[in-house]
Structure 1
Amino acid sequence: MSEAARQRPQFRNINALSDLPSYRLPPAGWVSILHRVSGALLFLSLPFLVWLFDKSVTSEIAYGQFTAAFSAGLWVFPGWLIKLVSLVLIWAYLHHLCAGVRHLYMDAAHAVSKEFGKSSAIATLAVSLLLTLVFGAKLFGAW
């Protein structure tokens, strides 16, 4: 064997300021990070989501207040901001759901390969963004 073939790779510490901006994360890495971000976002917004659910099912008057919050606003927040926050929460739920189904399938089918990881990550991103676009169009009154 030649000396070049036997040479081991050298590992070094990275500089976060100079190395990380140029690092290209694979799609599976993006899905993993966004899965964690969406889960944290859903957890932190749980009081708001419980309030939304409470207002939507308590009574007809409360439901009227619920729908008015999306059109006229609530306190100092305009209606478009409440819709935007709701759209972010819709994305968080849909992405977390799609990524969770992806992880469950990979665990159950033992489908752990680089090719499947990349293709399923791209599919997860595409499906969650497409569904968010559909629900966002409905939320903002496209139909």
Structure 2
Amino acid sequence: MAKGPNVNWLPVKDDNRPVNLDLTKFHFPLPAITSILHRISGVLIFVGTAVLMWLLAESLSSEEGFQRVGEWLQSPIVKFIVWGILSGLLYHLIAGLRHLLMDAGIGETLEGGRRGAVLIIVFSVISILIAGVWVW
């Protein structure tokens, strides 16, 4: 029999209680919501970069391509897509600044996390609305 470290030091509960995996039943605190949104906005930026690069390549392909992209950008659907990508970028930037401040030791307490989350929401809403006015 092989000898090794004893790993039975953690208490183990052997019961048959049901596990609730319905995420709609959980109440997430605001810092958790802002953290999840930060990750989602990163994915949006990743996908949105491909869209923006395609538009750039099309506009640089020829004079006709440039005119086509100019016409597409007048469409409300394309404006909404560009605004969505820009919104994700702004939110990710603001939430990322909070993470940098936390790396510097600022806002690491429970109360600091809550205040930081509120500030993220406030500054993001303001900047996203300004971006919406600019795009439209």
TM range (shorter): 0.7 to 0.9
Pair 1:89 & 2:92 matched:
no
Corresponding position of 1:112: 108
Corresponding position of 2:21: 16
Corresponding position of 2:49: 46
Corresponding position of 2:5: none
Deviation at 1:117, TM superposition (A): 0.5
Q: Supply the AA of the counterpart residue of 2:33.
A: W
Deviation at 1:85, TM superposition (A): 1.0
Could you state the TM-score of these two structures normalised by the residue count of structure 2?
0.76
Consecutive unaligned residues in structure 1, runs of 5 or more: 1-9, 72-78
Corresponding position of 2:70: 67
Partner of 1:109, secondary structure, is coil
Rounded to whole Å, the distance in 2 between the matches of 1:13 and 1:99 is 36
Could you state the TM-score of these two structures normalised by the residue count of structure 1?
0.73
Rounded to whole Å, the distance in 1 between the matches of 2:123 and 2:59 is 28
Native 8 Å contact 2:87 2:131 kept in 1: no
Corresponding position of 1:122: 118
Deviation at 1:49, TM superposition (A): 1.6
Rounded to whole Å, the distance in 1 between the matches of 2:127 and 2:18 is 40
Partner of 2:73, secondary structure, is helix
Corresponding position of 1:36: 39
Computing the radius of gyration from Cα coordinates, the structure with the larger value is 2
Pair 1:102 & 2:107 matched:
no
Rounded to whole Å, the distance in 1 between the matches of 2:65 and 2:96 is 33
Paired residues in the alignment total: 121
Task: Please tell me the root mean square deviation across aligned C-alpha atoms, in Å.
Answer: 2.3
Identity of aligned residues (%): 31
Native 8 Å contact 1:56 1:63 kept in 2: yes
Pair 1:133 & 2:129 matched:
yes
Consecutive unaligned residues in structure 2, runs of 5 or more: 1-12
CA displacement, residues 4-55 of structure 1 (integer Å, 9 cap, x when unaligned): xxxxxx9x764123xx323221111111100100111111222212123345
Partner of 1:16, secondary structure, is coil
CA displacement, residues 76-131 of structure 1 (integer Å, 9 cap, x when unaligned): xxx11111111111111001100111000110134310111111111111111211
Change in 2 beyond 3 A, CA 1:58/1:102: farther
